[in-house]
Structures are given as structure tokens and as C-alpha cells.
Structure 1
Amino acid sequence: MPRMFSIPMSRPNSSSASPGASLPKAYDASSVEDEIYADWEASGAFNPDELPARNQNGDPYCIVMPPPNRTGTLHMGHAAMLAIEDLLIRFHRMRGKRALWIPGTDHAAIATQVKVEQKLIAEGMVNPREELGREAFLERVVDFAEESRTTINRQVRKMGSSCDWSREKYTLDHERNRAVNEMFRMMYEDGIIERGYRIVNWDPQFQTTLSDDEVEYREGKAQFVTFKYDEAFPFPISTTRPETKFGDTAVAVHPDDPRYKPYIGQTFEPVFCGKKITVTVIADAAVDPAFGTGALGVTPAHSMVDADMAVRHGLQTIVVIGKDARMTAEAGERYADLTIPDARRKILAELEDKGLIEKVEEIPQNLPVAQRGGAPVEQIPMEQWFIRVNKPFALRQDTLGKWRKGEEATLKELMRHAVVSGQINIYPDRFTKTYFHWIDHLRDWCISRQIWFGHRIPVWYKGTEMAVSSESPGRGWTQDPDTLDTWFSSGLWTFSTLGWPERTHDLDAFHPTAVLETGYDILFFWVARMVLMTTYALGDVPFHDVYLHGLIRDEEGRKMSKSLGNVLDPLDLIPKYGTDAVRLSLVLGTSPGQDVNLSEDKIKGFRNFTNKLWNISRFILMQIGDPSIERRASSVAERTLADDWILTRLTDVIVSVTAKLEKYELSSAGEELRDFTWGDLADWYLEVAKIEGEKQAVLTRILRSILKLWHPFMPFVTEHVWKTAGFDRSLITAEWPEHLVDPRAKGSMERGTQFERIRLVVTDARRLRAEQGIEAARMAAFSISGALEMLDLLKENEAVLKQLIRASDIRFGQEADPSWASTVSGTVTIALNVAGSIDVKQELQKAKKELKETEGYIKGLERQLANNEFISKAPSHVVEGLEVKRQEAEQKRAALQETVKRLS
């Protein structure tokens, strides 16, 4: 049985007038946040097994945290992820669900190893792996990763993340290694993991293969060279990589290109820079006749596009660039062992000397570079391990409600159907199209890496024998030295964290998970691979929803980087502004899939709102006294119009915010809640409460509700107020607020509508005062005439009305003196006696001066519009703009003339 959840509560001192008196005027987040989090964690609040009985009977709701890389510290993108996921998990926990948020970190194989290698090189080593050896080197990497984990977990806690630390996972721990080995074995037995000789992305700097997703493209310029192999070759070709032409085995042209039809099928043996090559002219519809010369030199060993063409036409593959990014012996004796830049310069000089270059153009080019390290990536064929995404295999279980056990499908088909069928929804929806586009162009996934840190490939060799096993088959067997791509283990994250391959209680209870929340930039890196792995292994989806947040940029929209000096660090901002302000800045004013421009000013603004909520709470607590005293809810007969209005408005907000959070409209929900809190509650109801008094029961209900509503957004300040007030339990397990007014109770709703009518009169009266320049603190006389029903309503609430509009006197039903300023408000006319409320002489002089300036402005516009030469030459939109300005100025003149007349 779960133990009863509780957090120690500090009851207000009985000698104090109220808990509000114990709250300082300003909220100091830094003095309370660490203690509050420690209380949450110690209480078991984050563990679904420890939650109250109502949660134990609720529906499961699970999120697995996108595991931050163990490469250092968290950035603002991680902070956004944590703010959004904690908001969702707290909301659903309060809704009575059995909520589980699983934390964890990623070993990030290449990223972490590169980080350590760079660190060791900076310390004086030349080649750390060679100098230390595998075991000693891995010890250094493991130590670094463990230090990073400690730092990252501290930062996750600082963000207020209510994740279950008792279930923390690591992509390289023993349980995840067992899951990885089991997945590899299954896929190998099903024939969708194979070893083959194919072209791959190669990082010459760190000597490892890369997946397509680990290659970035850097904008630059390239020389587009049009040339002939030699004097005898019949036509020119174009390329940006002349150094690869030693490996050309064909020249491809479009089958309908009349320039080259006579050559199709012919074989030539030109001598290219001293090396004889053999090329056959082939026809392929993939060739663009308008690009370059329309003739493409095909290099199957150094271009994936050319490699595909080589498969279609049965072409030979010749490797002319090696793993060290130098030319091989296949490039000829004069070029062998040259670096790529040196070879390119030498080739161009030789072609120029022989008169073989027709032209050289500079064109923009996206240079492929390694995501980690930034070295230019080479495409080279080699023997590696691949997952075959287009190969049919027999399913191990019924899958996605479409395939039966034993039927055949491809991984691509599983990935597509999971989304097409609506079993996975992507927010925002526009990324669904992007997802399908990526799947349609997905190549077989190279999963082997030539690095030491990571999951070792569970394959063993003994002579020509090979065995797939997590343990050595016996003496004489040697394990494959390569490790698996990080995304292989990360792809298992939703179910390996729940105990797979064992059929655990957590796996049965919490899978599929509810939502995968992450940045849109790793939709393909991770999200799609999770769909691939889960549909294959479990026959089900990994999650029901995918929520993609945007990238966090600086206030000018630039990517944050150390070189620009525009990086905002969550750990620097939290002590200055509080965690709640940082969280709000990452949620409010944002949309899923849209980049966020963030500045300290924005965070400062939300710090101000945090203080506003604090002061609202402080005021209410001072009015209600001890909240622990049970109070009878006010009956309709005892409530004022303002009471019914605020309770009806709050009910509307509860219903709306709840619906929006369920639909992931997080910013809209927070903005609506902010408008209610600052506007309806603080600016209106609390002002009325000061006048009417005796509202302890209503204020208590309001405070409890708004603290609950704000808690998922702002957990620390709300918990601190709740705790200080002495309310029951803790907000983290409090029940989400329900309707405060029965929507069917027409009486309360109608009375709320009546207050809205009064509020309109107050708003218009205040506007009238402002237009007439009457200071807010100065009392003024009013006259209100019009519909009798409305006048009766206003008379009944005269005391409140007079205070809100600062009226010394209100005459109801009497026509105002013509000299009084007036405005229409609904069914009544409000008149304001400006005499005695303002300095008439001063205001008259000001109005006359402004009228004179306006008349001069109008004359200037009229002169321009009467100038035929100007009108004939000026663009039509300029003339139209001047005419609009003239009309607006004439309206202003008429208003000022009326003001002068009245004041005179």
C-alpha cells in the first residue's frame, strides 16, 4: 500500500492576524526554492507509487525525459523542455492521474568521446586513444560522464522538475545494455540488421562513420569546373570535386538529351591527369540536362547518389580517397597520398596547362561537415553494420492493429502507419508532412561506429565464423571492436526505461507513454527512430502524442553561441529572477514548433508578474485571516454581484484553461490565466472587495483555485504561498480545481452578467475622466441618465460605483448641464462636471493651442493635395495616405472645436 503523501506544513502563528502578515512585501525566490524542492523530493511526491489513493485509481500518464547528453551542462533548450514537461506532468497529476516522469541521461557516444579527446589534447596528448589504450581511455570518459551527470541532475532539480528520481535511467547502464543487445539479436535474426560493403559518411578527424543525421551542412562557395578528361574525350563534364574523377567509372546523361544520344552505351578510356580511367556513357533519368553540361561523371565510391546509380547500372566502385582524407594509390603515382586540397589544386593546374578547362564558376555550396568536431565529411565505401529499412520481415506479434503476427512488413511501413493511422499525433501538425518526407527518403541506417565509448556491438569472430551474443562464445573468439550508434540505444528509450525486455509492471502500466516532448530539430534524429524501434519490438507506438517546441534564440533571433556572446544560462538567470519567471518566459508567448526569441527583459517581466501573484496572495491572506478555519461557503443570497461575477469568471477560466492544457495550448492557457489574475481579479474584484468587505469565504475559494491553476506553470511561488497559508497537504498532489459555480445555475450567471454591465459603466466613466484630463485621485461629480432598469442596477450598487470612478456625487436620471462632458455607455449616458475638477482656463488654452496646430497641419496637407505636379508624380499609395491623414486631422479639429466651445 502506498504511504499517505504529505509535506511538512508551517502553520501560521496563532498570534498573527493572518498568514499574509508573515509574507514580506516582495517575493524572494532564492530563499525558498531549494527547501521546497527538497521537501517535494523527500515526500515521495514524484513517485506514482507514493501518490494519494485517487491517483492510484487514475489513468496512467507517463513521460520519458529526453535524456540530456552527458557532455556538460544544460542550455535554454533543455530548460524549455523541462518547463513544458513539468507543466504537463503536474497538471495531469493534479487531475488524478497516476503520473510518472522518468528522468535520465544519454551517454552520447561520439559527443562525449570527442569532448574528452579534445580535453586530453588540450592537456598535451597528441593521440589520446593510442597513448592511453582502450581501457584507460574509457575510464577517463566514464569519469567525465559521471561528473556531467551530477551537474545535469542538479540543474534539472533547479528547474523544479517533478520527475521520479528513484527510476532514473542511463542509456549506457547495465539494464539498457541488455535491452540493446536483445534488440540487436532480434533484428539480426529477422534479417533486418546486416553487415555489408556500402558507401557511408566518414569523419576523417575522429575516424568513425556517421549517420546522415550527424552530418551538418555549412554554407560556403565552391569552384564549379567544366572540363574534359583529356583531349580525345568527346564532350565536357562539370564538377565541384575534380579530385574524385580518378574514380569515375561512367558518365551519365539523360536518355532524352539529344546532345549525348549518339554516345550512350559507348566506353572510353581517357587519361585523366596521368591516370587511365574507363568510363561508359549511360542513360539515367535522374540526370538533370540543365545542370552544368548535362553530363555527370559517376564516382560510385564517393557519392551516395552516384552509388545508387552504380547499383542500377552495375558499375565498378574504385576508392580514390582513403580514411585519412588523402588520395589513394588508385589516383595514380603522382597524386597518391596528397591531401584533398593539394590534389585539387594540382589537378586544376594540370588541366589548365593542357587547355582542358572550359570555364570555372563560383557557386554556393553546402559543405558537409561532422556535427561533432566540424571536419569535412567524406563519403567512402566500407564494411559496416546496417539496419535495412526497406527489407520485408515477418512480424513477431500483431502490430499497430493492421498486421497479424507472421505477416510481412518493412520498418518504413511501420513508421508511416503509426502516424497515418492517427495512433501518433504530431503537434504542430505541419511537421507530420515533414515526418513523411523524411521517411520516404530514408536510407538504410548505418549503426556501427569506430569509437570506444558506447554499446559494444554484440558480435564475435573466430576465423570465418561469426556469432551474435552478449557474452563471449568461448576461447578464441574476438568481439567486434565497433560500438553502436547512440540513436540505437536512444530509440529504445520509452520501453527500455520501463524494464524491457522483461515484461515488468511498469511496462504494462505505463506503455505506450502519453507524450514525447522535444525540440523539432531532432524529429528525425530521435522521434522517428523511437517509432521504428517500438513498432518493431512491441507492435505498438512509443507515445500517443509528439509535442515539438522551437529553438531558443536571442532577442534578435540569432542562434545562441559562445562566439556571439549571447548565451543565456538557466543557472545564471534563476538566482536573479527565480525559476518561475524563467519557466514562464519559455512557455508564455510561444507556439509549438516556433522558435522563441528570449531576452533578460522578457524574464524580468515575468519576475514582475510573479511578484504580482505574490502580492495578490498576500492581500487575500490578510483579508481572510487563518485559512485553516473551516468557513461555510457563501450562499447566493449572501453574495454580491461582484462575488457572483468573479466566481462565474473563475469557473469559465478553469474550464477553458483545463481544455487548453489537454490540447497542448500551453501558452494560450497561461495567457488567459494571466489576464484573469491581473485584470479581472486584481484590477477589479479585489478593488471591489476592499469596498464591500467581509469576503473571507469567497476569497478563500478564489485563492485556493488560482494557486492550483498556476501551480503547473509556477510551482515554487504557488507552493510557498499554499504552505504559508496552511492549506491542506501540498499543491503537488492537490486536486485540480473544479467548477466554482454550477454552469446550470442561471441566477449566479445572470448576476455575474449584471456586474459586467456595471463594469462597462465604470470603464467608460474612467475613460471620460482621462479624456478630460482629470487626475485619478481627484473627486468629480457625475450624472447618469438613460434606461430605468440600468439606473436601478447602478443605484443599488452606488457605493461601489462611486469608489471605482472616484465620484463625489452621482445624479441618477437627471439630464446633465450642456457644459458637462459626456459619453454613451450601453443604455445610459454618463456626464462629467469638468468645472471644479480641472483648471478650465488652463485646459481651454491647451485646447486652443492644439486646435491651432491641427488647423496648420490640415492646411499643409491641403496644399500638397492641391499640387497637381506632386499628385501626378507621387505613387498612388502616398497620395491615398495623405488623404487619410487629412480626414483624420479634420475629425480631430471638429472634436477640439467642440472642446473649446464647451470650455468657453
Structure 2
Amino acid sequence: MKSYITRYNHKKIEERWLSYWEEKGFPHAGVNPSKEPYTISMPPPNVTDILHLGHALNITIQDIYIRWKRIQGYEALWVPGIDHASIATQVVVEKQLPEGKTKEDIGREKFLEMLWNWVGEKKSYILGQLKRLGCSADFRRTKFTLDPDLSIAVREAFVRLYEKGLIYRGDYVVNWCPRCQTALSNEEVEYEEKNGKLYYIRYRIPDTGYRMPDTGCRMPDYLVVATTRPETMLGDTALAVHPDDKRYKEYIGTYVILPLMNRQIPIIADFLVDPKFGTGVVKVTPAHDANDFEIGNKNGLEKIIIMDKRGKINENGGKYAGLSREEAREAIVEDLKKEGLLEKVKPYKHSIGHCYRCHIAIEPYLSRQWFVKMRDLAKPAIDAVEKGEIKFYPKRWKNVYLAWMKNIRDWCISRQLWWGHPMPVWYCQNEKCPTFGGIPSPRDKMQNGVIVAAEKPEKCPYCGGDNLVQDPDVLDTWFSAWLWPFSTLDWPKKTPEFNYFYPTDLLVTGPEIIFFWVARMIMAGYFFTGSHPFRNVYIHGTVRDRIGRKMSKSLGNGIDPLDIIEQYGTDALRFSILAVAGEGQDPRIEERTFELGRNFCNKLWNAKRLLEMLKEEHKEAHCEPDLADKWISSRLSGVIRDVERALQRYRLHEAVMCMYDFFWHEYCDFYLEIIKKSGHIEIGYYIFENLLRLLHPFMPFITEELYSGESSIMVSGYPKPVKKDREAEEIFGTAIEIITDIRNAKTSFNIPVKEKIPVYIEFENLDIIKSYIIFLAFVSEFIPSRPQKGIRRASHNYEIIIPLVGVIDIEKEKARIEKKISTLKALLQKTKKNLSNKEFMR
């Protein structure tokens, strides 16, 4: 390596080492009985993604751990991959269709061909981005969630769950996206607080001559119901009150007339009603509200669907048919006013669910979907975390996980999309088959005679017919994702690689997908493999801008990591982002954040150049280690221990700053200055090379470039600490404190740092450190007697006095200090005045 003689150029270095790693096949892992395995399954970025700083943080953390274990001698496997992202991908490609055309216009086969072509281009781009981030995954093992082998795993998983009675089909109110025209799981709905309205609607009570038992008075003319969604009243099939609400006990069992539709509906009692909401009387729309669906089932109410899948009013909505949800609301409110049935409208702030992909407001919608029963699957996953078999870092996420798992609901897994894993479900089209048209068969009443199989059956098991059609839906993206830790290692086959590398060791992810993905993977691991899928879960923070806002396209505050790499380099990006990312905290980042990493790279580069120059000057000089050599060697050992401890505890910020402080403030500020004079280059080199190996997992490119070994630094072996030299650290540590105190005193009194001055020092081991103080603090002489006046600095084991007479112009310095005091007093008065001004404090 000769490039140290030139200026640091990250672009050339990164290009060279990316080519080298690829050419040499680094890294590649395989079954090796002589080594202990270490495995990470990369959370696959969506194929629609353009990698952002959040990805950069996530990938960097994983890469650190895989490189750390690799350099320690483990057989370290990092499996990369990309997710097919059903909804997101289909939405993106649909937007690329010619104007006025829909996917139905061009047909399923042609549309899927478009999708595969688009995905092929995107996969290559994403893998290229990962490599530029220094990602040392085994790219020969790259997986895509729609790969044939992963599709086999998905179908096998579905069949096993179905055969155990854990997958079922039923009619339920689900979260429906009118834009994507598919069902969504609860975790795919994002809630936003919105300023809306609460409409108070009068439901007329027919005059039946009935009189109230308590008073003998006639029933009132109407009951008032408060709702945020007047358009759904078209599907009301009851009003409900709380059974213990004394205001309405006499109304239970009577009827009202549904406004505008003139349909008679009953008044029922149910404990789900909140008597404090609105008037205490609620409308029940079983086909368009999850709670109302439950009330409807308990009370045998009719379920009237009043919208189509596009969110428009259907034929059940009478004259409002064809209107959008928003248009119907306006028309209905206007008609209620005309008929005197709208009592009042009040402002009301409430939470509205939106599709996590297209951000359109979701519609609670009654439809037939496939579900996974989650409660039985959750039990072993809860036990594993409670017993410590799986650990969360930071620990607080354990409680978040457990709270959600203990209140888990069934998972809607069917999606009305074209892009994704087809449902492994078939239906017989033979009219003579007992299952034709959804007629329940004696064998399988609950599932209406569906045929579930990993491969398409040749014949119907019910009638022997061969006219079978596959369910048109696809599976939720997360159904393939929850199998990821083991499906990427050849499951359901039990290959040597599966047995060697599974279970995996670490999952690194963000907090937003603990429920989407982390919890489901744990459940899947125990159900399908009988084991935890990973041992440790590290939840990193969310990258934010300098004022704490989440980075997003809409705010325009995002930073493209490729722009940062272009300007500062990958190593600078990785080092900087970790330096500001405390354990589990949300790092606040702006462009100048990356100057820290860039400056550190330059410092490393210049240190190597200096070592090379000193090597030429001192040639093969061999010297016995002196105090400074013993101190720096002992300090390196301490840093190795501290970094290892921080990595074991998933405190990467601590590891980064530990290495930064050691290299910058101890090795460079003191030790390099000393060996310029002492010529102890051999030890200086030894410390630098070990520091490079320690830094390599964090900064792979520059450490490869500066490392002097014959092969790649990634297989050079991790540095091992030696026994701590307490005496050397204590004595030379005191020397550093003394030197620092003298330097600071000079600065305080405007004495040039390199101006030699006399000092008085009282310290037990002064004779041992005198030469270092003379050289590094620019001391002219050591005063034997304690001066009466001077600048005094002291610690528990030393005292320093610097006489000022003859060193500084005392009158001039006194004037400077008095001027500074005067300026500060004026500033203090101004601040007090501002603080007492109420207008200023607003």
C-alpha cells in the first residue's frame, strides 16, 4: 500500500475496495464445523424503497456486528434480501399506466409482466446502494420474497396452519382501502388526529300510544344520536344504549324510524356503548364498524353494506347511490337539515385511520377474508421474552412487545391485489360438487369446502372433478416476511446450512415494525421450527432532522445518504450517524453532522502518513518501551475492553466515542508527538494497526486502505487486550493532566502555547515525567521553591504554580480582564431587562 503519501480520497478508496471484495469473493460463509456460526437475516428493504438515512443507520449497525464477529473468527453469515411489498409496488406501477388505463384494462398477465420488469431494475439498484454503504452481506445468497424457494415456504406455512385449524375464512368488518381496493391488517392502518365534526341527528319515534310507566307521559318525538359519519346511517339496523343508563331504560325494545330511509329499526342495549359519548345513544351499522359488527352478531341484526369497494354508495343507499363518501355526507347533512332532523353540529377532534401506503382514509367494510388465529401462536412467543430466551435492547421495548402480544387480535392475511403470493386455495367449479357455489360440505362446514394445498390439486377431493380455480387474492406481504429468518435458510428443508446457521443471532430494526414483523417472526419461529428465530433484538431510534422532526418527503427535510457518501464518504457517514445515535434514541441529523466522521478519517489518514515518514527517519531503530509506550499500550487494552463491552450491550454510540477520544486525544495529541522525538515507531505502529482492526467494523474502507497486513483486514483477527499497567496509566495520566493544565493556563492569560515558561510542580513522581512536560507543555525550567504568587492549578495528587512576573504584562492583562467583566455585566443587565418584559417573553 503506497496511497498514504497522497491526500485522502474516499471515492477512489471505496471504489478500489468494493472491487477487491467482489473479486476475492469476500465475504462468503458456509458450514464450517471448526467455527462457531453467527447469523443475521437482513430486514429486507421494500423493492419500492430508495434508501434513506434510516436504512443507513440500520445497515451500519448490522454490518458492525457481522464484521465484528467475522474478525473475531466466527463463521459470520449475513443474508441480504428485498421484499416484494405487495401494496406499495402495485400502487407505484399502477401510477405508471397510460392515462385513463387501469390494470383491469391491460389484464392480469400483462400487468404482472410490467411489475416483474420494474422490480428487476429496482432490485439491482437497491443492492448497489447496500454495497455502497459498505454492507458486507453474502450477496450470493440474496433473497427476494417472491423467489421460488420462498414461495414454497409460504405455501407450506399456510397449509400447516390451516391443517392445525389456525387459518380460517370468515365475514368480518376489516380495514378497507378504497384506493388500493384491498383489506388491511390493523397494523397497516396509520391513525392521525383530525379536526372533524360531530353531527347530532334526530331519529323519530313512531306514535304507538305507548306511555312511560314512571310518568304516564307519551314517548318523546325522537331520540338524538351523535355521529362523526352521517353517511353510514344509510346502513343503520339499530340504535343502542348502555343497559345501565337510566335515561334510556324505558326505550329498550322499542323502535325508531331511520332518517331519510324511513326504515324501522330497534333500540337495543349493549355494554359496548359508552354512555358518556354524545347523548349516550349510538347508531349501529354492523357492516361498517368493528364494534357495531360485534353488537350486530350478539343481537342478530341485519348487516347492510352501503358502499362498494371504491368507497362509493351502492344500491342499498337509495337516491345517494353513486356518490363518494364525501359527497354522500354533504348531501345527507343537507337533506337532514331540510327535514328538521339535524339538531346541531359541533367541532370534534378525533383519530382517523389511513392506509399506510396511499394515505387514503380507510373504510371499515364487511367482507369475506382469510385470517390467522393468533392467541395460541402468541403464548410461546410471550413466554420466550418473559423468560429472557429472546432479549430486547433497549429493555423498554420488551414491555411494548408484551403489552401488544397479550392483547393480540386475529390477523387478516388476504389481500385483494394482483402482486404477491397467491393464496394456496382452490374452489371446485363442478356444478354437481357438494361444495359448488359455497355450499357447505359435510366434511368441512366451517370452510365451505375450500381446497387448501401447497401445489394445485389435480382433482377435487370432494367430487373428483378437475375444474378448479384458484382464489384470486394474494397473501399479506408480512405473511412471507414472518418466515424470513428461516425461509432464507432453506426451510422447510432441514439442510446442513439450516441446522448450522439457524436460529439467527441478532435482529436490528426500527420501532415502527415491532408489531408488523418482529412479534410475528417470533411466533412463526416457535410454531414452524420449535425455536426462537433470533436471540437478540436491537431497536434503534428514528432518524430526525435538527429540530426533531421525522425526515420525510412531504416536509422536504430528508437527506439522501448517497449525497453524503459522495461528499464525505461512506466511513464518515457510518461513523457520524453512530456518534449521534445514543442507545435507542432518535438521532438528530443535519448535513454538518458528517463533518465529525470526515475529520476523523482525515486524522487517521494523516496519522498513517506521519508514521510512514517517521519510519523512514528512524529506520529499524528498536528501543525498550518507556513510560509513554507502556501507558499507550495499557490504554489501548482498556479501549479494546470498553469497545467490546459496549458492543455486547448494544451501545454503539459509546463504542464510537471511546475509540474517537482515544485516537484523537491520547494517541494523536500526546503519543504521536512523543514518538516524533523518541523514535519508538515500532510501538506506535503496533498501536495504530490494532486500532484499525478495532475500528474496522465501523469504518471498513479506510481501515482496509491503511492496514499493512497482506490479506484483508476483515479476516486479520480482533485485537486482544493485554494486562492493564495501572502504574504507567496513573503516572502518565497525571503527566497528561499537568500538561493540559499548563496549556489551559497559557490560553487563559494569552500566553502563546509554544512559549517556554518556568513552572513549579509538586508531584511525587515528577522526575519520571519531567521530559514529557518540557517537551509537550513548553516548559523552560522547573522552579525548585514554591512561588507565593502565580497561576495555581491543583488536583488530588499534584500542584502547579506558574509565576506571572516576567511572563505576562500584568497591567495589560488586568485591563483585558476588567474590560471582559464590564462587557459581561452589560450583557447580564440586558438579559434581565428582556426577561422582565412580558412582550419579549411571549
TM-score by length of 2: 0.90
Q: Tell me the alpha carbon deviations over residues 825-880 of structure 1, each in whole angstroms, 9 at most, x when there is no partner.
A: 4444323233343334422433455577789999x89xx99xxxxxxx999xx9xx
Q: What SS does the corresponding residue of 1:597 show, helix, strand or coil?
A: coil
Looking at structure 1, the residues matched to 799 and 688 of structure 2 have their Cα atoms a distance apart, in angstroms, of 36
Q: Is the 8 A contact 2:204 2:259 kept in 1?
A: yes
Q: Is the 8 A contact 1:512 1:540 kept in 2?
A: yes
Looking at structure 1, the residues matched to 415 and 201 of structure 2 have their Cα atoms a distance apart, in angstroms, of 38
Could you tell me how far 1:664 is from its partner in structure 2?
0.7
Residue type matched to 1:823 in 2? R
Stretches of structure 1 that go unaligned for 5 or more consecutive residues are 1-9, 13-21, 391-409, 866-872, 879-904
- Corresponding residue for 1:649? 635
Superposed, 1:560-639 pairs within 5 Å as: 560-624=551-615, 638-639=624-625
- Corresponding residue for 1:511? 502
Find out whether 1:814 has 2:791 as its counterpart: no
Looking at structure 1, the residues matched to 426 and 822 of structure 2 have their Cα atoms a distance apart, in angstroms, of 95
Could you tell me how far 1:28 is from its partner in structure 2?
0.8
Q: 1:708 aligns with which of 668, 693, 711?
A: 693
Looking at structure 2, the residues matched to 364 and 388 of structure 1 have their Cα atoms a distance apart, in angstroms, of 34
Residue type matched to 2:728 in 1? R
Residue type matched to 2:99 in 1? G
Q: Is the 8 A contact 1:49 1:56 kept in 2?
A: no
Could you tell me how far 1:25 is from its partner in structure 2?
5.7
- Corresponding residue for 1:276? 263
Percent identity, please: 38
Find out whether 1:455 has 2:421 as its counterpart: yes
Q: 2:126 aligns with which of 152, 158, 167?
A: 152
Looking at structure 2, the residues matched to 298 and 854 of structure 1 have their Cα atoms a distance apart, in angstroms, of 70
Could you tell me how far 1:56 is from its partner in structure 2?
5.7
Q: What SS does the corresponding residue of 2:506 show, helix, strand or coil?
A: strand
- Corresponding residue for 2:234? 246
- Corresponding residue for 1:342? 327
Q: 1:143 aligns with which of 117, 126, 135?
A: 117
Q: What SS does the corresponding residue of 2:551 show, helix, strand or coil?
A: coil
Could you tell me how far 1:45 is from its partner in structure 2?
2.7
Find out whether 1:29 has 2:10 as its counterpart: yes
Query: Which stretch of the first structure deviates more once superposed, 104-113 or 67-76?
Result: 67-76
Q: Tell me the alpha carbon deviations over residues 646-668 of structure 1, each in whole angstroms, 9 at most, x when there is no partner.
A: 11111111111101101111111
Change in 2 beyond 3 A, CA 1:375/1:601: same
Q: Is the 8 A contact 2:236 2:258 kept in 1?
A: no
- Corresponding residue for 2:718? 736
Residue type matched to 2:198 in 1? F
Q: What SS does the corresponding residue of 2:344 show, helix, strand or coil?
A: strand
Find out whether 1:39 has 2:20 as its counterpart: yes
- Corresponding residue for 1:668? 654
Could you tell me how far 1:140 is from its partner in structure 2?
0.3
Q: Is the 8 A contact 2:489 2:497 kept in 1?
A: yes
Q: Is the 8 A contact 2:735 2:772 kept in 1?
A: no
Looking at structure 1, the residues matched to 695 and 418 of structure 2 have their Cα atoms a distance apart, in angstroms, of 47
- Corresponding residue for 2:794? 824
Superposed, 1:392-411 pairs within 5 Å as: 410-411=376-377
Looking at structure 2, the residues matched to 73 and 125 of structure 1 have their Cα atoms a distance apart, in angstroms, of 28
Q: What SS does the corresponding residue of 2:158 show, helix, strand or coil?
A: helix
Q: 1:134 aligns with which of 105, 108, 111?
A: 108
- Corresponding residue for 1:902? none
Looking at structure 2, the residues matched to 521 and 603 of structure 1 have their Cα atoms a distance apart, in angstroms, of 26
Change in 2 beyond 3 A, CA 1:821/1:430: closer
Residue type matched to 1:597 in 2? R
Could you tell me how far 1:592 is from its partner in structure 2?
4.1
Residue type matched to 1:146 in 2? G
Q: 2:223 aligns with which of 223, 226, 235?
A: 235
- Corresponding residue for 1:80? 57
- Corresponding residue for 1:801? 773
Could you tell me how far 1:361 is from its partner in structure 2?
0.7
Q: 1:495 aligns with which of 486, 498, 503?
A: 486
Q: Tell me the alpha carbon deviations over residues 493-542 of structure 1, each in whole angstroms, 9 at most, x when there is no partner.
A: 00000000100112111111111111111111111121122211112111
Looking at structure 1, the residues matched to 589 and 793 of structure 2 have their Cα atoms a distance apart, in angstroms, of 43
Q: Is the 8 A contact 1:221 1:364 kept in 2?
A: yes
Residue type matched to 1:276 in 2? R
Q: 2:757 aligns with which of 780, 794, 798?
A: 780
Q: Tell me the alpha carbon deviations over residues 190-243 of structure 1, each in whole angstroms, 9 at most, x when there is no partner.
A: 111111111111121222111122222233221101222225464211110111
Q: Is the 8 A contact 1:761 1:825 kept in 2?
A: no
Superposed, 1:112-131 pairs within 5 Å as: 112-120=89-97, 123-127=98-102, 129-131=103-105
Could you tell me how far 1:483 is from its partner in structure 2?
0.8
Q: Is the 8 A contact 1:214 1:370 kept in 2?
A: yes
Looking at structure 2, the residues matched to 853 and 488 of structure 1 have their Cα atoms a distance apart, in angstroms, of 68
Residue type matched to 2:785 in 1? Q
TM-score by length of 1: 0.84
Q: What SS does the corresponding residue of 1:334 show, helix, strand or coil?
A: helix
Change in 2 beyond 3 A, CA 1:110/1:820: closer
Looking at structure 2, the residues matched to 593 and 827 of structure 1 have their Cα atoms a distance apart, in angstroms, of 39
Q: What SS does the corresponding residue of 2:632 show, helix, strand or coil?
A: helix
Change in 2 beyond 3 A, CA 1:856/1:63: closer
Q: Is the 8 A contact 1:454 1:484 kept in 2?
A: yes
- Corresponding residue for 1:258? 246
Query: Which stretch of the first structure deviates more once superposed, 131-140 or 798-807?
Result: 798-807
Could you tell me how far 1:556 is from its partner in structure 2?
2.2
Change in 2 beyond 3 A, CA 1:315/1:539: farther
Change in 2 beyond 3 A, CA 1:375/1:853: closer
Looking at structure 1, the residues matched to 71 and 471 of structure 2 have their Cα atoms a distance apart, in angstroms, of 50
- Corresponding residue for 1:48? 29
Looking at structure 1, the residues matched to 822 and 147 of structure 2 have their Cα atoms a distance apart, in angstroms, of 81
Q: Is the 8 A contact 1:764 1:825 kept in 2?
A: no
Q: What SS does the corresponding residue of 2:319 show, helix, strand or coil?
A: coil
Residue type matched to 1:473 in 2? P
Could you tell me how far 1:41 is from its partner in structure 2?
2.7
Residue type matched to 1:737 in 2? P
Find out whether 1:193 has 2:193 as its counterpart: no
- Corresponding residue for 1:431? 397
Residue type matched to 2:714 in 1? I
Q: 2:349 aligns with which of 364, 389, 395?
A: 364
Q: Is the 8 A contact 1:246 1:275 kept in 2?
A: no
Looking at structure 2, the residues matched to 594 and 855 of structure 1 have their Cα atoms a distance apart, in angstroms, of 39
Q: Is the 8 A contact 1:248 1:279 kept in 2?
A: no
Q: Is the 8 A contact 1:248 1:277 kept in 2?
A: no
Q: Is the 8 A contact 1:428 1:548 kept in 2?
A: yes
Residue type matched to 2:786 in 1? E
Q: What SS does the corresponding residue of 1:367 show, helix, strand or coil?
A: strand
Q: Tell me the alpha carbon deviations over residues 414-438 of structure 1, each in whole angstroms, 9 at most, x when there is no partner.
A: 3322322211111222222221222
Superposed, 1:519-530 pairs within 5 Å as: 519-530=510-521
Query: Which stretch of the first structure deviates more once superposed, 448-457 or 616-625?
Result: 616-625
Change in 2 beyond 3 A, CA 1:828/1:84: closer
Stretches of structure 2 that go unaligned for 5 or more consecutive residues are 207-220, 430-435, 437-448, 459-465
Query: Which stretch of the first structure deviates more once superposed, 453-462 or 347-356?
Result: 347-356
Looking at structure 2, the residues matched to 591 and 643 of structure 1 have their Cα atoms a distance apart, in angstroms, of 33
Change in 2 beyond 3 A, CA 1:323/1:782: same
Looking at structure 2, the residues matched to 56 and 414 of structure 1 have their Cα atoms a distance apart, in angstroms, of 31
- Corresponding residue for 1:323? 309
Change in 2 beyond 3 A, CA 1:386/1:650: same
Looking at structure 2, the residues matched to 323 and 95 of structure 1 have their Cα atoms a distance apart, in angstroms, of 56
Q: What SS does the corresponding residue of 1:48 show, helix, strand or coil?
A: coil
Q: 2:70 aligns with which of 93, 102, 105?
A: 93
Find out whether 1:687 has 2:668 as its counterpart: no
